[in-house]
Amino acid sequence: MRTRQYSVKVCEMTLTNENEFISFFDINHELFKDYLIVINGKSSQMIQDYLNEKDIKYLFNVNLPKSQGRITAEKVIQEQQEIHEIKQKKITEELSKLSNRLQNNLKVRDTLVRSGQELNIKGDLLLLNRVNSGATINIDGNLIITQIVDGLIKCNGNFMIIKTSSKANILFHNQEIEYESLMDRLNKIEYIDNKIVITPISKETNWVS
């Protein structure tokens, strides 16, 4: 009989809300890429597909012996929640400045755009949730998305403010925006003098100028 012994870093967490879980790993998956994630709670196909896409190693509802390599995510979640609340306050402040620019039949949506779903929007859209891979948004007005975009966006407005992953496809006025121009950061994409202008938005930079 041959045996091998491995030293594995384990993170244990409790799953109570799928959207909060996905938002947490959107922000922190790089931190946990070398961990085995032990998840306590009800498994779902959406969560499993998401973890597989992020190449995160995981187990559901197993009891593992405690060791020095085992940590709990509660502290990390609490710290990230505090950071998230600060960011959301900042976003709310900055979004209030957009009121004079988002007046073209503005729609506000705070639900996840799921894989296979297609939204066709006349006017402007403020989306307060993520866009999953396989989802599509077609919009003829301005667009702001406050969480990560993995799907297809077709926008013909004057501007977009979005953050995309490498899986996203972005078309602005029928021109494809290369991922290398966006690079996992928040960007303002504008149509100025018949040209597309991309401006990275840092944490210190206002959403609108």
The string of DSSP codes covering 17-73 is -HHHHHHHHHHHTTTTTTEEEEEES---HHHHHHHHHTT-EEEES------TTEEES
Over its length of 209 residues, how does the chain's per-residue pLDDT go in tens digits?
565 555 667 788 888 888 888 888 877 776 777 778 888 888 888 888 888 888 888 888 877 665 544 555 556 556 656 666 666 666 556 555 554 555 567 888 888 899 999 999 998 998 988 999 999 999 999 999 988 999 999 999 989 999 998 899 999 999 999 988 888 788 999 988 888 999 887 543 333 33
Decide if 51 contacts 29 (C-beta within 8 A): no
Whole-number Å distance between alpha carbons of 131 and 119: 11
